[in-house]
Amino acid sequence: MSGRQVVVPRTPTVGGTGSSEEVWGWAVRREWRDGRHDLFGFTADRHMADRAVARDRGFWRVGPVRPAAVYVVAANASAVVGHPVSGCCDSSCPDSPERGEVR
Ligand SMILES: [Zn+2]
């Protein structure tokens, strides 16, 4: 089982408002105790993101190593696609405080 699916919707630009690279949606951010983070699983659907977080938490719960936190962040599609899936320590990455909304 993989908890690292990356889904990139190829949504055509609606109404010619801009580049498809500026599509906003949600991604899963996984924080590690050493300060690194992972960012993956971009989706335009908030419920899909919530489910991905729940699935990821369940995955780590049974393992010997656990992330410090897993939560949904609002993110730009291109930011997620261009982001290393794991081991990033760039503090400018998407990290909006959404974690209180995840059950
Ligand atoms: Zn990062």
In a domain, 6, yes or no: yes
> CA of 74: how far to CAs of 31, 32, 34, 59, 79, in Å?
15, 19, 23, 22, 11
Q: Is residue 98 part of a domain?
A: no
- pTM value is 0.72
69 in a structural domain:
yes
pLDDT at 103 over 60: no
Q: Given pLDDT bands bounded at 50, 70 and 90, which one contains residue 58?
A: very high
Average pLDDT (24-29) is 93
Ligand 1 center–CA 49 separation, angstroms: 18
Q: How confident is the model at residue 15 (pLDDT cuts 50, 70, 90)?
A: very low
Is residue 2 in some structural domain? yes
Average pLDDT over the chain reads 81
- Residue 54 covered by a domain: yes
**How many domains are there within the chain?**
1
From the CA of 87, how far away is ligand 1's center (Å)?
8
Does the residue 22 lie in any domain?
yes
Show the domain range for 41: 1-84
Ligand 1 center to 88 CA (angstroms): 4
